[in-house]
Structures are given as C-alpha cells and as structure tokens.
A and B are shown apart, each in its own frame.
Chain A
C-alpha cells in the first residue's frame, strides 16, 4: 500500500557495483517506504539478483559508487549479519544445504541471535518449538521439516517455503525476495505468496525480484521497476508487469534508449 506519510525504509542513490573487473550495477535509484511492495523485473543478466545481493552485503561484490540508506543509516558500512539484525532480509534464490544441522536448531540459533541483538527475549527449545510450529502453519509446512537437516535434500518448493519461514521468524523491516517464485509449481507458488502476504504489514516493505509476472498475480505490487544493463530504466504500477508479460522487455529498452 502506498501512503505518502509512511516512513522511508530504503533509499538507494546512484548505486554502482562490480564483481571483479565487471561492472554490473551502473547507477540504481530506488526508494521504498513502509507498507510498499516493489517488484523488480528484467531479463537475465540485467543485474537484478546482484542488486538483491549487494543490499544484503554479499562479499563478492564491490560497491564502487552511490549510497544506500536503511532507515536513515548507511547500510553499506554494515556487515551482512548486522544488516540482518537491523531488519534486512534476503530470501535466496538458491538456499544452501547444510547437512548435519537440524532445521530446528538452525532456526532457533538464528532467531535467538537476532532477538538478542534487538534486545528482545530469546526462546528455549520448548518455547521455540511451539512458536515455530505456529509460523509453519502460515506456509502449510509439515513439522517434520524441523527434524530434517537444513535444506538438505529439500525440493525447490520446500527450500523456498523454508526461506519464507525464516522471514516469518526474523520479522524484517525490509524483505528482499530473490526469485522466490522460480522453480515453484502453481500450488507451491500460491502457498508461498500467501505466506508473504500474511507477513506484509504497514510497517515493512517488500522487494520482489522476479523474472516472471505470474508471482505478481498473488502478491500485488505497488510499483514495478524494469532493470536493464544495471539500471532501472522504467517504473510503473502493476499494469506494467502485465504489459511486460505480453510484450516482452525489448520495447522498454528501446523506449529508454
């Protein structure tokens, strides 16, 4: 929802970043206020996933220009773990598998770490078990997932549900979901999208990075941005996504040129 008086969560100004010698982000501007849902779309290689990773602090990318303010703070000077504790969440396109570490103990470790950093109460294993089971209902997840190793052998859809479960636990102010819809069948997509919608409030902002319009049938964006060549070249409302779906990306690039 767009509210003109909503506090600003994220302000990105002329952000430029590279990996090795290759410049990928070439001047991104974006402003996200509380309550808003932004979709970032674009063809493969346009830099949208890089943008998501840079916001979360991936060490492989070097920021070479511009600035990023998160609730007025310089986000770029924070380590990834500090960003997470401050309220930035990145839902991964490819969550990693950690055999031998149960999902339950990982989830509790991360929950308690973030709670502690925010000066809030930590939960013991029994309390946490009740708490996490409630959250799992949001995502129609079988509690058996708690006993399995973190993401190990999970299907694509199961991994994405587990990502959103972590979002539910960590209660971010800004959630960046990188290709959360990729590899999901329609049923799984609906479940994951419903979960995100339930977690969305007037106090938090969501940035959806996606290649496909279909996710936006379930999570309605306030803004749709098109990325190309490391820049946002067009911004519109949700009707832009539908237009992209029917006409492809090329016309936007031509128009912007």
Chain B
C-alpha cells in the first residue's frame, strides 16, 4: 500500500472526530490534538514493517470503519453469558460508549472505578498526569488514532495500601458492523495497593467491525495488579490492542492475554521495569481455527536490577489459522541479577495450521539468568498412546490433550468464573464436552 493510500486510510478513520464532544479540559484537548497531529504523520503498518511481517492488515484497510456515534441498543439479558459474578464492579461499554444502565458499580473505600468522562471532575488529576504517558502513540498509528478519539474509557484508581479484593470487570461489546470503537483503560495502583482487572472484548455485531484499544497500567511500589485481557470478538472482527505497563520498585504485575476470536487480532503488551525487585508473570493463550490470524507481541524491559519475569505463551492452532508470537525480553546494562524465563509452546492441530514464534532476547548485563524455549509440535504420540491404552477413542484422547494443553494457562487465572468460562470454551472447541455429557 502506498503511503498516500495509507494516509488516506488514517484520514478516513479520523473522520468523525467533528462529532466528538468537546473535551471538558484543556489538557485532554491538547492530548487529542497531539495524537491527531501524530496520526497525520504516521502511516498504517504493512507486512514490510518488521514488527508486522506476519500480520497482513490489508483486509482491515479495505473497510472504512467509522466511529460508532452512539451505543447500539442492547437488552441486558444479552450480557448474561459474559457475567463475572465475582466482580462487584462491572463497567459496560457498548460500541465504545459507556452504558451506565448496563453497568454495576459497587463502592469500596479507597477504590475509584468508573468511566473517565464521569470521573474527570474529581479524579481529573490522576487522569491528567497519567493518560497517554505510557502508551506511546509516537510510532503506533493505531494508538495515535485511539488517543485522537479519547473521550471516555475506564478509570481504575486504587489508593495506597488498599486491597480491592473483588475483580473489576470491563466489558467492551460491539453491536454495530462497519463501525470502530476506541476503548481506553487506565489503571493506577498506588503504593502497596492490589487489584485484579479483567478487560473483556466481545462482539454481537453481524459483520466486520474494528476494535482499537489502548490500556495503560501503573503499578506503584509494592503494589500488585492482575490483568486479564480476554479477546473473544466475533469471527468477522478486527481487534488491535495496545497495553503498556510500568512497574515501580518491588511491584508485581501478572497478566493473561487470551485470544480466541477475531478474524485478525494483534495484542501488544509492553512492560517496563521502573525500579528494582519487580516481578512479572506474563501468560498468553491463543486458540484459533478457520482463517483466523492472532498475533501477540510482548516486550519485557528489565531496566533495573533484581527483576524477575516468567512468561508462558501457548497457542493452539487448528484449521488454516495462523498464530504469531513475538516475545522480546530486554535486559539493559545495569539490570544485574535479572532472572527471566520465557516459554513459547505451540500446538498445531492441522497440516494447514501455521505458527510463527519468535523469542527475542537482548541482554546487555553480565550477571543475569535468562532462559527461553520455543516448541512447535503436534500432539505427542506417547501421550496419545497413554490415553488410548485406557480405552479412549483417538479423537477423545486428542481432544483431552488439547484441552489439557490450554488448561495449563487458563488455570492460573485468579478468577474462577473466567477459568470456568474459558475451560468451557475450550471444551466446546475440542468437542470433549459432547463425550463428557454422554458419559454423565
């Protein structure tokens, strides 16, 4: 695609900004304007860009997605399948617009959760000092466009030493085809605070739509954030998400990036160490079929000493689907005593399935432990033989092993109903459920 055409495409996405509500304050107006200016200078990524080699977005560029001007109408009952009972707070955004009547907000002392537009009056300083500071739109066209449309979003602020015990659910639902939504999330855990945030992307639209999401997570000293990102869009959807995380001294960040839906999805996760003694746990699971393409890019930046990180990314690829994993781990000079481990494990269920897995270690310190490994394979003959020697049919044995492969990641998610929902999803995908219900 020529740069002119590509600029035209970004211009097209940016159209519709005229109907955005005027920002309530100057800083937000300034942030948006800077993003618009940057978007005008950027081009959309193509497979000629190293970071997008395997992910061809040209099907996206064929459709002129306009921002949904208002939320599509939706009966509350249609949300039931996505309910997370443990969550005391559930914010629902329909086509990018906050829907108070579908949301559930509980009050917990020291925890502020709400939509950005509603909170900007009293939590404005948190937003002002943090929004746009982590997710750089300097060289990411989609982050720039998201920021250009920054109008509302989810804000989570947990005060010092407060533990938000119930998970916080952010549900983003697309109901209108050929529309774009620009979800935005800001999580700020102050010193010693703890919270669990679930970003959940689902689709009820009939045709293609675009989700272009940006999340920023600030983990202060000694704080803990559990961050679950569930991408379960429709099979016609395009999903591009950028998450950027900064973790201060002795802070802990655990994330689960799950990709189940979308025709094409790209999830970026950039985690930066901003103090010694941080701990990162970075899990991922991709489970795709048919013609789906799911690309997960992560970057872990060990910038200081005594950082600890563990990453396990798994993909299960069926049909003619294509999974991409690029896991960068940077250990900077001076980041001594870094202990980093990365595992990329990929299961191909058909001859036409494809995976491109690329661990990328860049180490500039000399006293570190860094281990990484990548495997691409099919179900092991020995494992299959074990189950068949117990009388199980070949297909049942294969499904059981596929399920187990995915379950290793799923079971680490700290929210039981999410674990159950994902395990059900995998069971359905592997048709094991049929067998089990017959046995019941």
Contacts and interface: CB of A to CB of B under 8 A. Distances in A.
Say if A and B assemble together: yes
Interface of A: 56-60, 79-81, 83-85, 89-90, 92, 95-96, 98-101, 105-106, 108-110, 112-114, 117, 122, 124-125, 149, 166, 170
A110 B390 contact: yes
Nearest to A108: B439
Contacts of B401: 98
B386 interface: yes
Interface string B395-409: 011001101101110
Interface string B373-415: 0000000011101111111111011001101101110110000
Interface string B128-155: 0000000000000000000000000000
B107 interface: no
B408 A99 contact: yes
B383 A96 contact: yes
29 contacts: A56-B385, A57-B385, A79-B388, A80-B385, A81-B388, A81-B389, A81-B393, A81-B394, A83-B389, A84-B390, A89-B389, A92-B386, A95-B386, A96-B382, A96-B383, A98-B387, A98-B404, A99-B407, A100-B403, A101-B400, A101-B404, A109-B436, A110-B390, A110-B391, A110-B392, A113-B396, A122-B439, A125-B440, A166-B390
A60 B392 CA distance: 18
Interface of B: 381-383, 385-394, 396-397, 400-401, 403-404, 406-408, 410-411, 423, 435-436, 439-440
B392 A109 contact: yes
Q: Please give me the 4 A-B residue pairs with the lowest Cβ-Cβ distance, nearest first.
A: A100-B407, A84-B391, A110-B390, A114-B391
B436 A105 contact: yes
Given A80-B388, A99-B411, A110-B387, 20 more contacts: A59-B381, A80-B389, A81-B393, A81-B397, A84-B390, A95-B386, A96-B383, A98-B383, A98-B387, A98-B400, A99-B407, A100-B406, A100-B408, A101-B403, A108-B439, A112-B439, A113-B392, A113-B393, A113-B396, A170-B390
B440 A84 contact: no
Contacts of A80: 385, 388-389
Given A110-B392, A170-B390, A124 B440 contact: yes
Contacts of A166: 390
Contact of A57 (B389, B390, B435): B389
B354 to A, nearest CB: 25
B390 A96 contact: no
Contact of B411 (A92, A100, A108, A109): A100
B385 to A, nearest CB: 5
Contacts of B407: 99-101
Given A98-B400, A101-B400, A122-B439, A59 B392 contact: no
Nearest to B380: A96
A109 B391 CA distance: 9
A170 B389 CA distance: 11
A163 to B, nearest CB: 10
A81 B436 CA distance: 18
Nearest to A107: B390
B391 A56 contact: no
B391 A100 contact: no
Nearest to A123: B439
A109 B389 contact: no
Given A85-B391, A110-B392, A117-B391, A100 B404 contact: yes
A58 B385 CA distance: 6
A148 to B, nearest CB: 12
A99 B426 CA distance: 14
A83 B390 CA distance: 9
Nearest to B411: A100
Contacts of A56: 385, 389
Nearest to A112: B439
A98 B407 CA distance: 9
In this complex, the member of B387, B391, B435, B436 whose beta carbon has the largest number of chain A beta carbons within 10 angstroms is B391
A177 to B, nearest CB: 13
A90 B400 CA distance: 20
A109 B439 contact: yes
Of B382, B386, B408, the most chain A CB neighbours within 10 A belong to B386
Nearest to A98: B404
Contacts of B440: 124-125
Contacts of A117: 391
Contacts of A79: 388, 394
Nearest to A151: B386
Q: Which of A80, A83, A108 has the most CB of B within 10 A?
A: A80
A113 B394 CA distance: 12
B375 to A, nearest CB: 16
B391 A81 contact: yes
A55 to B, nearest CB: 10
Contact of B423 (A92, A100, A112): A100
Q: Name which of A57, A81, A101, A117 has the most chain B CB atoms within 10 A of its CB.
A: A81
Name, among A89, A100, A124, the residue most crowded by chain B CB atoms within 10 Å (CB to CB). A100
Contacts of B383: 96, 98
A96 B435 CA distance: 21
Nearest to A84: B391
Contacts of A109: 392, 396, 400, 435-436, 439
A170 B390 CA distance: 8
A125 B392 CA distance: 18
Given A60-B381, A100-B423, A170 B408 contact: no
Given A99-B404, A99-B408, A170 B436 contact: no
Contacts of B436: 105, 109
A166 B391 CA distance: 11
A113 B389 contact: no
A25 B31 CA distance: 75
A85 B389 CA distance: 9
A109 B400 CA distance: 11
B147 to A, nearest CB: 39
A110 B404 CA distance: 16
A169 B254 CA distance: 41
Nearest to A91: B389
Contacts of B408: 99-100
A199 B383 CA distance: 26
A170 B391 contact: yes
A246 to B, nearest CB: 35
